[in-house]
Amino acid sequence: MSDVITTTVIVATIASGIRLATPFLLASLGEAIGQRSGVLNLGVDGVMLLGAFASYYVVLETESIWLGVMTGILTGLLMGLFYAIITVPLRAEQGVSGIGIYLFGLGMSDLLFQKLVGTPLPIDQFSEWHVPLLSDIPVVGEMFFQHTPMVYIAFLLVPIIAFIINRTTFGLSIRAVGESPESADSLGVSVPKVRFATIMAGNALAGLAGAALAIELGIFQQNLTNAMGFIAIALVYFGAWRAPGVMAGSLVFGMVGAIVLQAKTLGLIPRSASDIAAMAPAVITILALIIVANRFRQPAALTKPYVRGD
Amino acid sequence: MNSVSASIQSDRQPMLEMRGITKRFPGVIANDNVSFDVLPGEVHTLLGENGAGKSTLMKILYGLYQPDEGDVLINGEKVSLQSPSDAIDHRIGMIHQHFMLVSSLTVAENVALGLSSTRGPITDLKQVAKKIKSLSDRYGLHVDPDAYIWQLAVGERQRVEIIKALYRDVQLLVLDEPTAVLTPQEVDDFFVILREMTSDGRGLIFISHKMNEVMELSDRISVLRLGRLVGTTTPQETTREALAQMMVGREVDNTREERPATIGRTALSINRLSVGGDRGVDALIDFSLDVQQGEIVGLAGVSGNGQRELAEAISGLRPIKSGSISLFHDGNPKPIGGLGPKAVREAGLSFVPEERMRDGAIGEFSVADNMVLHNHHSTRFSRGGFLNFGEIHRHSQKLVDDFQVKTPSIDTPAKNLSGGNIQKMIIARELDSDPEVLIAAQPTRGVDIGAAEYIHARLVAARNAGTAILVISEDLDEVMLLADRIAVICQGRMMGVVDRIDASREQLGLMMAGVTD
Ligand SMILES: Nc1ncnc2c1ncn2[C@@H]1O[C@H](COP(=O)(O)OP(=O)(O)OP(=O)(O)O)[C@@H](O)[C@H]1O
Ligand SMILES: [Mg+2]
């Protein structure tokens, strides 16, 4: 058995794990930003689906992948604006509104797909971009530095977002608003403005995650994400609301997925067990969640609308 | 010459005028046509019972509430204060009755929040910490800029609030019961800071229930009663008794009847207790103390010397490292250390926590629900898992009446009550459960003199009925008034226990400072 697991296989599996982790990472980074400011968004999956369809459609029509990526982000921003309006000034209950967004995204993306496209046609995909020099390093280069641009973008966002949250005045406002909006308000920090910004940014990332997925697969179909957005929400808890933690969670998830795929290809998993194997990433995430749970406290104001003077 | 006439000029013009302010809430008129002003360099005190409308008036000034009627003028010009940032723009600062601090952030981060940075979008916490240090050196406000707020005792948190205001260099500062959480020594230091601020021409609005402080600090005193301005006077023209009568509408007498304690058996025994602290150092070291049935033991000490951790350890909220805590039933010890709050309550202990808003009440719940928070599963209030609303209402109404908790109704959410009335609500609940042992942390912090008198009387009545009571208080006057025996804590160690008859302020003060003889 050990003779099938060669270095080549291991390298390929790790590279594919990183690739699989990318949409999760983008979506969960976005969710983490929102939650740090006290806003829960259960609609990530719906926004991902809309972003995926929009970018798929634009690439199909224009054959410009980057235009597709931009459209994914723009779709996320639009959905974010909508979600921000209903949850911040209108103070709608966040749990229910998020589920509404999800259902809307699920239905609308399929409807648009049926009306505008009908039969699934493949679109252009990003080609790999080899990082100069680094990609030539044996083994390591192949694992980490021979990916599509979306992978680099997602992983570069981790330190950027960590920096914004931890080192900037805006990040300080985000953390304060998520923990104690009344204290932030009493110092002149506008709670609605901060939450609008984080919701918009978070949804833009969800839209981008959808675009990354559709372009990676080169295809769109009904419910393309298959609940990836919900897993992204779980990964935020797994990652304790911190960008590096969220990245670790996404990688675990992507790796387990890649290992299962690879094992299947190599015939290491009997056909009868393949359904069970497909559940492995979810089961592992849940186990990890149980272990991590309670080590870290969620933002104290999470899901709580803020009303001045209360 | 020029500057003299300018200063006379500015003496005449109030820096703040509030004219005919009216504010209504469902069921109450919190402010009823109130007019109020502040001159540069003066301390203008607002006095009034719990629920008189002091905080409401100040929240209007700070842009947190909009008045239904009336105008606010700053330096003679009418202003619109729609939000705290408008108030901040007019150099108004406010130290709130409940702390406005983000507990998961550091001191420096709390101070920097909402300010622009010298490094553009990037925080300049080192710079902020430096300036905090210089402010704290200059005003004697010791805090560690890198400490997290959750690690700080109440007194230290208050210093952070003051630093926040000093850092912003406010011209008009509202202090809503700032001394409620300070020790007598801290109050003295604090007043020095305030005087320094007024000598710079800043105006202060001071709210306190402590008459001696009001008489000492104020230039003018305005009294609110049931939302209306009763009158404005000066310390020279009035007396404490007259002020109390203006506030309450009757004479107040807060002296204790002299009746020796009829001591029973030991009810609570703390033996060589050590407890970890939030900052790495142990908060309690080898601490021993017994409390007998029918006595009040007062634990005196400067804020932050382990009192909070002791109360948490006894009430089951904090794990213990070594030693034991026991309650006694018929002479048999029952160790309660580390059992958790529910089991400790069931063992016969009641607890009035220091941070009542955080640990003692649920703001979203009604007053009635808060009144049965800890015993809603008792057979009296529930049957077969269903709450008996009739009984809960009768019981809560009685407690509200007995303890004069001012609330439009017992269905009002607790968060809408004034600060002092939330305190009264929790104390009513805890005293009423007829405990064998009662731990009361800062029992009269923030309550008005009428209510303090009543709470003291209830504590003494419980003691006379045989309850063993431990009063943890940073108010030495309160300890000396209430306690049969006085224990002193310093840096987590027991400094000694003295009978009240033998105790002097000087001796206790030395013990509080850690001086042993
Ligand atoms: N947000 C609110 N909603 C409804 N009622 C309120 C609200 N805020 C205050 N009140 C009511 O207004 C009245 C005045 O409250 P306020 O907090 O101004 O009293 P206070 O003088 O500051 O009392 P304390 O000394 O106890 O702090 C009280 O009856 C209180 O219940
Ligand atoms: Mg008040």
Q: What gap in Å lies between CA A172 and CA B77, rounded to an integer?
A: 34
CA-nearest residue, atom 22 of ligand 1: B55
Q: Which two tokens stand for residue A307?
A: 């009303």
Look up the CATH number of the domain holding residue B379. 3.40.50.300
Q: Is B289 helix (H, G, I), strand (E, B) or coil?
A: strand
Residue at a domain's end among B143, B169, B195: B169
The answer to whether B163 touches B111, Cβ cutoff 8 Å, is yes
At A251 the pLDDT is 93
Q: Is B51's C-beta closer than 6 angstroms to any atom of ligand 1?
A: yes
- Name the pairing type of β-strands B43-48 and B220-225: parallel
Residue among A169, A179, A182 minimizing CB distance to B116: A169
Chain A residue numbers with beta carbons less than 8 Å from the beta carbon of B64 are 185-186, 308-309
Mutate which of A173, A187, A241, A306 to test chain B, going by most B C-beta atoms within 10 A? A187
Asked whether residue B256 is domain-assigned, the answer is no
**Is the pLDDT confidence value at B141 over 90?**
no
Amino acid identity of residue A229, one-letter, is: G
Which run of H or of E encompasses B437? strand B437-441
Give residue-wise pLDDT tens across range B484-498: 999 999 889 999 999
Amino acid identity of residue B120, one-letter, is: G
For residue B220, what are the CA distances in angstroms to A214, B195, B196, B211, B237?
Answer: 71, 14, 18, 13, 10
Range in A110-124, B93-107, B236-250 the model is least confident about: B236-250
Residue B228's φ and ψ, nearest 5 degrees, are -110, 150
Chain A residue numbers with beta carbons less than 8 Å from the beta carbon of B113 are 172-173, 176, 183-184, 187, 189
**Is the pLDDT confidence value at B385 over 80?**
no
Pair B31, B58 in one domain? yes
At B357 the pLDDT is 66
Chain B residue numbers with beta carbons less than 8 Å from the beta carbon of A309 are 59, 64-65
Per-residue pLDDT, averaged over B78-92, amounts to 93
CA-nearest residue, atom 6 of ligand 1: B416
Pair B438, B380 in one domain? yes
Burial status of residue A45 (CB atoms within 10 A of its CB: 0-12, 13-18, 19 or more): buried
Taking the centre of ligand 2 as the mean of its atom positions, its distance from the CA of residue B226, in whole angstroms, is: 13
Say yes or no: A298 contacts chain B, CB-CB below 8 A. no
Parent domain of B132: 101-169
Say yes or no: B96 contacts chain A, CB-CB below 8 A. yes
pLDDT along chain A (310 residues), means of 10: 74 93 97 97 97 97 95 98 96 93 96 92 89 88 90 97 96 96 94 97 98 95 92 90 94 89 82 74 74 77 83
Give residue-wise pLDDT tens across range B496-509: 999 988 888 888 88
pTM, two decimal places: 0.78
For residue B102, what are the CA distances in angstroms to A172, A178, B64?
Answer: 11, 9, 18
Nearest to B21 by CA among B8, B38, B34, B39: B34
Q: Is B421's C-beta closer than 6 angstroms to any atom of ligand 1?
A: yes
Pair B385, B297 in one domain? yes
Q: How many CB pairs under 8 A join A and B?
A: 81
At A112 the pLDDT is 96
Q: What gap in Å lies between CA B200 and CA B190, rounded to an integer?
A: 16
Nearest to A45 by CA among A99, A122, A102, A93: A102
At A214 the pLDDT is 96
Q: What gap in Å lies between CA B7 and CA B11, rounded to an integer?
A: 6
Pair B177, B165 in one domain? no
Contact between B100 and A187 using a beta-carbon 8 Å cutoff: yes
Contact between A308 and B83 using a beta-carbon 8 Å cutoff: yes
Helix runs in chain A, H state only: 7-36, 44-62, 65-87, 94-116, 140-144, 149-167, 169-179, 181-186, 191-217, 228-238, 243-265, 274-278, 280-292
Pair B309, B189 in one domain? no
Pair B355, B291 in one domain? yes
Tally of CA atoms within 13 A in the half-sphere of A215 that contains its CB: 32
Pair B288, B380 in one domain? yes
Residue among A188, A300, A309 minimizing CB distance to B88: A188
Asked whether residue B423 is domain-assigned, the answer is yes
Give residue-wise pLDDT tens across range B322-347: 999 999 887 788 888 778 888 888 88
Give residue-wise pLDDT tens across range B353-378: 877 666 677 888 888 888 887 766 66
Per-residue pLDDT, averaged over B263-287, amounts to 87
Pair B370, B452 in one domain? yes
Q: What gap in Å lies between CA A143 and CA A14, rounded to an integer?
A: 6
ipTM: 0.89
Amino acid identity of residue B385, one-letter, is: G
Amino acid identity of residue A181, one-letter, is: P
Interface of A with B in 176-205 (CB under 8 A): 176, 179-180, 182-190
CA-nearest residue, atom 10 of ligand 1: B416
Of B183 and B117, more confident: B117
Beta strands in B293-380 (DSSP E): 296-300, 322-329, 332-335, 349-352
**Is the pLDDT confidence value at B6 over 50?**
no
Q: Is B418's C-beta closer than 6 angstroms to any atom of ligand 1?
A: yes
- The per-type count for chain B, helices as H runs and strands as E runs, is 17, 22
Residue at a domain's end among B169, B204, B219: B169
Say yes or no: B362 contacts chain A, CB-CB below 8 A. no
Nearest to B54 by CA among B26, B103, B15, B94: B94
Pair B159, B176 in one domain? no
Domain boundaries, chain A: 22-227
At A293 the pLDDT is 65
At B9 the pLDDT is 42
Residue with tokens 């103390």: B289
Q: What gap in Å lies between CA A32 and CA A202, rounded to an integer?
A: 8
Q: Is B294's C-beta closer than 6 angstroms to any atom of ligand 1?
A: no
Say yes or no: A308 contacts chain B, CB-CB below 8 A. yes
Pair B247, B277 in one domain? no
Output the average pLDDT for chain B: 86
Pair B63, B111 in one domain? no
Residue B470's φ and ψ, nearest 5 degrees, are -115, 115
Q: What gap in Å lies between CA B98 and CA B107, rounded to an integer?
A: 17
Range in A52-66, B109-123, B161-175, B427-441 the model is least confident about: B427-441
The residue whose CB lies within 8 Å of the most ligand 1 atoms, and thus the one to mutate among B61, B356, B417, B424, is B417
| Å between A202 CA and nearest CA of chain B | 20
Residue at a domain's end among B116, B144, B169: B169
- DSSP per-residue codes, B364-432: TSBHHHHHTTTTTTSTTTEETTEE-HHHHHHHHHHHHHHTT---S-TTSBGGGS-HHHHHHHHHHHHHH
**CA torsion angle B253 B256 B259 B261 (round to 10):** 150
Burial status of residue B371 (CB atoms within 10 A of its CB: 0-12, 13-18, 19 or more): buried
Per-residue pLDDT, averaged over B122-135, amounts to 93
Atom of ligand 1 nearest to the CA of B58: 18
Number of domains forming the structure of chain B: 3
Contact between B113 and A167 using a beta-carbon 8 Å cutoff: no
**Is the pLDDT confidence value at B446 over 60?**
yes
Asked whether residue B258 is domain-assigned, the answer is no
CA-nearest residue, atom 19 of ligand 1: B51
Give the strands of the sheet with B332-335, arranged side by side.
B282-292, B266-276, B322-329, B332-335
Q: Is B410's C-beta closer than 6 angstroms to any atom of ligand 1?
A: no
Q: Is B417's C-beta closer than 6 angstroms to any atom of ligand 1?
A: yes
Asked whether residue B195 is domain-assigned, the answer is yes
Per-residue pLDDT, averaged over B413-437, amounts to 84
Pair B216, B275 in one domain? no
Q: What gap in Å lies between CA B480 and CA A89, rounded to an integer?
A: 52
